[in-house]
């Protein structure tokens, strides 16, 4: 994505008018453009939990400032595209907010905010999410499976899993429908077992 001359003029106008720059109405067209860009390139998913937003109203996802614009140390990154993405309101507002406890230090990040090593979380733009976490999401009729598997004990995967409370989003109604009360999301043959169930359900459709 490239800012047009109109985009740059609107950014400068918002800055010149002062106040809460990001909330300036002159930026509405640009914000729509940014959100559309990241929704499209992110496969209609929250950049942190991968919750699907396909077909949803555009306000379901927020434009996410990875390094928060409200922190004076990162105010200059407000319009840097590599510091932006889209996130669901749960991850953006309820969990992350203005916190910066997911970076190694302010000194590190202000020195080189593009360095992935300075982020404890999986960075939406500088890391490949699926190198660290495998995300399963299957819905067949009323049966649902949502599951996150940290790959190879990835430190970033483990931190992201805990930080964004991904366990709260996990559900296995396939197991529940079979009367299994104590769910174990980490069996050795998890993938084969779930795939077998899915294949059986599909064969009945």
Count structural domains, the chain.
2
Instruction: Tell me, yes or no, whether 20 and 77 share the same domain.
Output: yes
pLDDT tens column, 25-34: 999 999 999 9
Q: What angle do CA 173, 135, 187 make, to 5 degrees?
A: 60
| pLDDT above 90 for 125 | yes
Residues 157 and 83 in one domain: no
- Please report whether residue 198 resides in a domain: yes
Residue 41 pLDDT: 79
How far out from the chain centre does Cα 10 lie? 27
Confidence band, pLDDT 50/70/90 cuts, at residue 140: confident
Higher pLDDT, 186 or 111: 111
* 92 has a pLDDT exceeding 90: yes
Specify if 92 maps to a domain: yes
Classify the C-alpha dihedral 195-44-103-164 as positive or negative.
negative
Grade residue 196 by pLDDT with cuts at 50, 70 and 90: low
Range of the domain at 166: 130-203
Q: Is residue 59 part of a domain?
A: yes
How big is the chain by its Cα radius of gyration, in Å? 20
Q: Of the ranges 5-9, 18-22, 64-68, which one carries the lowest mean pLDDT score?
A: 18-22
Name the residue among 193, 186, 180, 189 with its Cα closest to residue 167. 186
The answer as to whether 185 is a domain residue is yes
Task: Give the rounded percent of residues in the chain with a pLDDT score beyond 70.
Answer: 80
pTM above 0.95, yes or no: no
Residues 90 and 32 in one domain: yes
In a domain, 123, yes or no: no
pLDDT of residue 185: 45
Residue 35 three-state SS: helix
* Residue 202: both structure tokens together: 């599909």
Q: What is the pLDDT of residue 186?
A: 43
Measured CA to CA, the distance from residue 21 to residue 12 in angstroms comes to: 10
Residue 86 · residue 61 · CB < 8 Å: yes
The pLDDT tens digits for 147-157 are 999 999 999 99
- Would you say residue 124 lies in a domain? no
- 158: which 2 tokens? 């483990």
Per-residue model confidence as pLDDT tens digits over 42-82:
678 999 999 887 656 556 689 999 999 999 999 999 999 99
Q: Is residue 109 part of a domain?
A: no
Domain stop point among 50, 82, 97: 97
Predicted local distance difference test score (pLDDT) of residue 178: 46
Q: Residue 191: how many CA atoms within 13 Å on its side-chain side?
A: 5
Residue 105 lies in a domain: no
- The length of the chain is 205
Closest CA to 149 of 196, 186, 119: 186
Residues 91 and 147 in one domain: no
Domain co-membership, 91 together with 162: no
């Amino acid at each position: 994505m490239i800012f047009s001359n109109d985009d740059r003029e609107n950014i400068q106008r918002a800055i010149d008018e002062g106040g809460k720059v990001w909330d300036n109405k002159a930026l509405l067209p640009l914000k729509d453009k940014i959100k559309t860009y990241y929704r499209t390139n992110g496969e209609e998913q929250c950049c942190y939990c991968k919750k699907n937003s396909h077909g949803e109203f555009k306000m379901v996802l927020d434009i996410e400032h990875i390094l928060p614009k409200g922190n004076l140390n990162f105010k200059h990154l407000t319009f840097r595209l590599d510091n932006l993405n889209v996130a669901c309101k749960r991850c953006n507002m309820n969990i992350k907010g203005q916190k910066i406890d997911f970076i190694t230090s302010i000194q590190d990040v202000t020195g080189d905010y593009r360095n992935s090593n300075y982020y404890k979380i999986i960075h939406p733009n500088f890391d490949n999410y699926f190198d660290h976490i495998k995300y399963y999401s299957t819905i067949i009729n009323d049966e649902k499976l949502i599951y996150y598997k940290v790959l190879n004990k990835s430190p970033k995967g483990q931190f992201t899993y805990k930080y964004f409370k991904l366990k709260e989003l996990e559900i296995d109604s396939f197991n529940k429908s079979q009367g299994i009360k104590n769910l174990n999301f980490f069996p050795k043959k998890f993938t084969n077992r779930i795939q077998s169930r899915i294949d059986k359900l599909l064969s009945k459709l």
